[in-house]
Structures are given as structure tokens and as C-alpha cells.
Amino acid sequence: MKLKQMAMAMGILCLSVNATEAHSDQVLNDLVNASRSIVQDLDNAYKLTGGLAYAGYNGRTIGIGAADVALITPDQVAAYNNAVAAMADADYYHAREFFEDQAAESYENMETAIDSFVEATVELVQTVEVAEIALETQESGTLEDKQDLSTFVEENQVSLVIDQEDVDNFNNSLIEVEETASTAAMWTAASQNDELVAYSNEQAEEWGVSFTEVNNVYTDQYVAYFDWYEDQNWSGAEYIWFTTDYLNQGISINDLLSAGEESGIYQEGPTAAYRCFVLGDCES
């Protein structure tokens, strides 16, 4: 891996203002200035035409060269056409937009994984009712309540027993949520990291490539990577990678659980809102 890329991933690169964005801004400025220049002459030309008609009908003599105030010059035409051509070739899809699009795709994958997790939970939700009744029986300690619990379990044993396959589905779905959320978090953090955005734009400009041309994207829970490879010959090809350590936006398990407790996912889930989750009764 190139030394500069390794240094970037370790978070020790200092980056300058991105030249690509500055160039693109100049292209836009040139188009604004060139087009407004012609529009101003068009505006003046219509004003002048109205004034000339007024003068003609009312016998007001007109000085030679009055039209000069609104004539469009060859330099204006050239500047405008050059600005149009430059804008047609301009690339405004830079690193930040690329990172944001990767994040948006990751959000969709994360939401799909969450839906699968909720579906998998349905097969285990009976444990919530069992735990609640068992705890109430334990707290009361009466033989009558214990017998009622025993009768309830005996009559519903088939539906109360959980299958290992259902547990495996639940566990796997939760792991999938973790993995997709990690990917979403990584690309979101990347889009918010000005240093990484600037570095990526600099590299793309140096290599003469566009972010619309990225070929391969890879992420796991520690590293994200993208390249402009057109084949499997990686020698000398262009690629960028970064790690969660570089992004330095980690969150602890305790903070995850605290944030999760405030989320709608939890507050409408089976442990916090059993009737809402099982019966859809989320108002009571």
C-alpha cells in the first residue's frame, strides 16, 4: 500500500484546500458571469428598443451609436460558449457526494436488516409473557398463583417452547443489523470528515479519475475501501482506504444501549411495549 495512503489511514496527513472543488467553483463563476453579461445586454436591448420606438413616434432625434449600449460582442460570445463547454465537462460528483451515496445505500440495507430482526423476534416473543407471569408469581409466592402458572404453561407448552432454529435466526439477524449499521456509520462518518474528503478529492484529481467511475467498493466493520480498477491487475491502480480508527467516531456498548433505549425501535419493541408489539395496541 502506498506510503501516503498508509499515513492517511493512520490519521497523520495534513491536507490543503481541495483544488478540484475550487476549479469547479470557477467553472460555475465563469458561466454565471458570461451568461449574465449577455442577459444584461438583452435586457438593455429591449429597453433600448422600447425607447427607440418611443423616440421614433414622438419625433425625438436619436444620436448615432445609441445601439452600442446593448450590442453583444464577439468576446462575450466566446466567453459564454467557453463557459458552457466547461460546465458540460465539469464534474461536481466528488468524494463527499460519493460517501453520502454509499451511506444512503447502507441505510437501506440497515433498515432491511432491522425488519428481518423484528420478524425473527416474533418467534421468541412468547418468552416475554412467560417471564412476566413467572416474575409476578415469584413475587406473590402464593401456591394458588404457582398452580395457575403451572396450568398456563401446561396448556400452552407447545406454543411456549422455542426452537433452536428460531434462536439461530434471531442471533443471525441481530448480527446482520450490527454489520449493516457499522457500514452505514462508517460511510456517514467519512462524509463528515473534511480531511478525508479533501484527501480523496486530491487523489482523484491527481489520478485523473471521477467518483462516478469507482468500480469496486468494500466495507467491513473496521475498514472501507474503494478503487478504480478495471480488471484484477492491481499493480499501480488507484485505490483509497480508511479505517474506523482513522475516523475516530467510536461509540461504546453502554452508549449504544442508552441511545437505543430512546429509539422507537426499542420503545415499540416486545420488552418495552408488549401489547404494542404483539397486538398493535400502541396507544394504551
pLDDT of residue 4: 39
Say how many CA atoms lie within 13 Å of 17 toward its Cβ.
Answer: 4
Q: Are 82 and 128 in contact (CB under 8 A)?
A: no
The Cα–Cα gap between 102 and 183 comes to 9
Model confidence over 14-44: pLDDT tens digits? Answer: 333 344 455 558 989 999 999 999 999 999 9
Cα torsion at 134, 136, 139, 144 (round to 10°)?
Answer: -80
Model confidence over 192-215: pLDDT tens digits? Answer: 999 999 999 999 989 888 898 898
Q: 224 phi and psi, to 5 degrees?
A: -125, 145
pTM: 0.70
Residues of the chain short of pLDDT 50, as ranges, are 1-20
The Cα–Cα gap between 249 and 185 comes to 9
Q: Cα 255 to the chain's mean position, in Å?
A: 22
pLDDT of residue 88: 84
pLDDT of residue 23: 58
pLDDT of residue 198: 95
- Edge to edge, the sheet with strand 239-243 lists 216-219, 223-227, 239-243
The Cα–Cα gap between 260 and 118 comes to 15
